[in-house]
Amino acid sequence: MKITFDREQFQQAFQTAAAVAPSRSPKPILQNIKLDATESGAIMMATDMEVGVRIEVSGVEVEAPGSIVLPVQRFGSILREVSDEKLRITREEGGTIVQGERSKFTLSTENPEEFPAVHSFTETKYHELSARTLKELIRRTLFAADSESGRYALGGILLEMEADQVTAVATDGRRLSKMSGPAVAIEGHGSASEVMTIVPARAMQLIEKALTNLEATVQIAARSNDVLVKVGAATIYARLVEGRFPKWRDVLPEKRDAKAIELTVGPAFAALRQAAIVASDESRGIDFTFGGGSAVLSSTTAEVGQSHVEFPIAYDGDPVEITMDHRYVADFYKVLDGERQFTLNLQDADSAALFSTDDNYDYVVMPLARDR
C-alpha cells in the first residue's frame, strides 16, 4: 500500500476516529485505526467492539491500494508534530513507513486482517431525519437510561421507527422519557416488530457528539443486530443490546383523567432548586402542591432543616399534591429552554406524574410515598 495525503484533513478524520478507539483494551489491535485505501478513496475505521466509526477521508491520493493499521498514540503524535502539508504512508514487510519532507518514521505494524471491520452503510431502506431532531431525541431521553444496574436492556435507548416519525424511549424503572420527532421512511424502512432496537447509551452519546452540523440530514438504518447512522462522511455503527425493553406505552398515564397544570421551565426550575437546598442523599423528596393560583414546593430533612418556596401559576382548580425526587424533576428541566412551556399532568399523590411539551416530549416520574 502506498498513499499520499493532506495532513490537516487526515488529522481531522483521524481524531474523530481516535475518539472511538479504546485507550485500554484486552484486544490491543483495537488501539489502532484501520485505513482501507482503494482506487475510489480512503476509509478510516475504529471500534471498541460496542461502537464503531467509519469515515471517508478526502485529500488522499492512492498510489497502490491496500489496508493498514495505524497505532492511535504514535501515529496521532506524528500527525500533530510534523508540520508538513503532505505526508506519505507506505506499508512494507518491515513495518509502516511514514514520510514527510524531512522526517521519516518506521512503525511496527499488525496484520490489518486481525482488525474487526466496521460495517459500511449500504442499506437502501432507512429513515431520514434532520440532525437537529435526532440530537434533540437523544439529549432529551439519554439521561433517563439506567447504565448502572445489571438490567442491560435499560442501559440503552429504545428506537421505534414508524412511517413518519422516530420515537426514542429511555427508562430506569423510576422515570421514563420518550420523545418522537418527524422522520421520513425510505422504501418502507421500519423497526421489525420482533426485534427491539435498543442502542447502548454510550453509542447514543457518541452519535449525539457527532451531530455537529444541525442543518444536515441524517440517515439511520436499524438492522437485526446493529444500527447504522450516516452523518456526512462518517458512518457510526452500534451494536444493539439483547433483551426486552418494558412496554413503555402502558407506563404513560392517561392525560384525560388528570389535572393539567401549565408551567414555564425557568420559574419552575428556580423554585425546585431553592426547595432542594435542604434535600440530602437520604431525603430527596420534595412535596409539590398546586392549586388556587400558586405552586408550593416544600421539603423537610431531619438533620438539615426545612424549605418552603411559592410561585404563582395559572392553574386555579382543586389543589393536588405529589412528592417527587427532585433530581428526576431537575433532569427534565435541564434539557429544556427556560422559556419553554410545559404541562404537568397530575392525577393524585399515588399516580405517576406526566410532564409533556407540545413537541411530542413526554416524561413520566413515579411519585414517592408521602408519609415518610
Partner 1 sequence: MSWDEIQGHDAVQAKFRTAVARGRLASTFLFVGPPAVGKRKFALKLAEALLCEVNPPADLNPCGKCESCVQVRAHSHPDLILVSRPANRTRIPVDLLIGDGQNRMRAGLCHDITLRPYRGGRKVAIIDDADYLNVEGANCLLKTLEEPPPKSVMILLSTSLQRQLPTIRSRSQIIRFDPLSNEVIAALLVEQGVVAELEEARVLAELGHGSLERAMQVADPELREFRAVLLPRLGTPDFPSVPLAKETAEFVDRAGKEAPPRRARLILVMQFAAEFYEQLMRALCGRAVAGDDLLRKQVERAVPRFTAGPDAAAACLARCIEAEQEVEANANLATLVDAWMDDLSSAGRLGYVPLGQ
| Binding positions for partner 1, rule: CB under 8 A | 26-27, 29-30, 47, 49-50, 111, 113-117, 147-150, 152-153, 155, 200, 202, 224-226, 239-243
Contact 239, 226 (CB under 8 A): yes
Q: What's the closest the beta carbon of residue 194 comes to partner 1, in angstroms?
A: 12
Contact 83, 21 (CB under 8 A): no
Residue closer to partner 1 by CB (options 106, 149) is 149
Task: For residue 224, give the DSSP letter.
Answer: S
3-state secondary structure of 225: coil
d(CA 181, CA 134): 8
Residue closer to partner 1 by CB (options 202, 259) is 202
Any idea what the Cα angle at residue 145 is, between residues 321 and 296, rounded to 5°?
20
3-state secondary structure of 324: strand
Residue closer to partner 1 by CB (options 154, 231) is 154
Per-residue cell: 289: 402542591
Residue closer to partner 1 by CB (options 170, 261) is 170
Cβ within 8 Å of residue 62, ≥6 positions away: 2, 3, 37, 38, 39, 41, 42
Q: What's the closest the beta carbon of residue 228 comes to partner 1, in angstroms?
A: 13
Residue closer to partner 1 by CB (options 27, 370) is 27
Q: What's the closest the beta carbon of residue 149 comes to partner 1, in angstroms?
A: 6
Q: What's the closest the beta carbon of residue 192 comes to partner 1, in angstroms?
A: 13
Q: What's the closest the beta carbon of residue 310 comes to partner 1, in angstroms?
A: 41
Residue 208 is which amino acid?
E
Residue closer to partner 1 by CB (options 47, 356) is 47
Q: Which residue has the cell 452540523?
A: 213
Q: What's the closest the beta carbon of residue 28 comes to partner 1, in angstroms?
A: 8
Contact 217, 134 (CB under 8 A): no
- Phi and psi angles of residue 288, each rounded to the nearest 5 degrees, phi first: -105, 130
